[in-house]
Amino acid sequence: MNYLASIGSYALMIKEVFRKPTKWSIMKSLILKEIDELIYGSMGIIIFISFFIGGVVAIQTALNLTNPIIPKNLIGFTTRQSIILEFAPTFCSIIMAGKVGSYITSSIGTMRVTEQIDALEVMGVNALNYLVFPKIVALMLYPFIIAIAMFVGIFGGWMAGVFGGFLTSADFVEGLQLEFIPFHVTYSFIKVLVFAFVLATIPSFHGFYMRGGALEVGKASTTSFVWTSVVIIILNYILTQLLLG
Asked if 44 contacts 110 with a C-beta cutoff of 8 angstroms, the reply is no
36 binds other proteins (CB under 8 A): no
When the beta carbons of 37 and 86 are compared against other proteins, the nearer one is: 37
Q: Which of 41, 94, 98, 116 binds other proteins (CB under 8 A)?
A: 116
Cα–Cα distance for residue pair 170/100, rounded to 1 Å: 38
234 binds other proteins (CB under 8 A): no
Cα–Cα distance for residue pair 79/39, rounded to 1 Å: 25
Q: What letter does residue 131 receive in the DSSP assignment? A: H
When the beta carbons of 116 and 240 are compared against other proteins, the nearer one is: 116
122 binds other proteins (CB under 8 A): yes
When the beta carbons of 35 and 84 are compared against other proteins, the nearer one is: 35
Phi, psi for residue 231 in degrees, rounded to 5: -65, -40
List binders of other proteins among 211-230 (CB under 8 A).
none
CA atoms within 13 A on the CB side of 190: 14
Task: State the nearest-atom distance from the C-beta of 10 to other proteins, in Å.
Answer: 21
Nearest to 173 by CA among 67, 79, 49: 79
Task: State the nearest-atom distance from the C-beta of 136 to other proteins, in Å.
Answer: 19
Q: How many CB atoms lie within 10 A of CB 57?
A: 24
125 binds other proteins (CB under 8 A): yes
Q: What letter does residue 56 receive in the DSSP assignment? A: H
Stretch touching other proteins by CB under 8 A, among 89-97, 109-117, 150-158, 178-186: 109-117
- Let me know how many helices (H) and strands (E) the chain has, helices first: 12, 0
119 binds other proteins (CB under 8 A): yes
Q: Which of 22, 221, 228, 229 binds other proteins (CB under 8 A)?
A: 22
Q: What letter does residue 165 receive in the DSSP assignment? A: T
124 binds other proteins (CB under 8 A): yes
Task: State the nearest-atom distance from the C-beta of 122 to other proteins, in Å.
Answer: 4
114 binds other proteins (CB under 8 A): yes
Cα–Cα distance for residue pair 38/34, rounded to 1 Å: 6
When the beta carbons of 11 and 118 are compared against other proteins, the nearer one is: 118
Region class of 124: left (phi > 0), else alpha (psi between -120 and 50), else beta: left
Binding-site ranges for other proteins (CB under 8 A) = 20, 22-23, 25-26, 110, 114-116, 118-119, 121-125
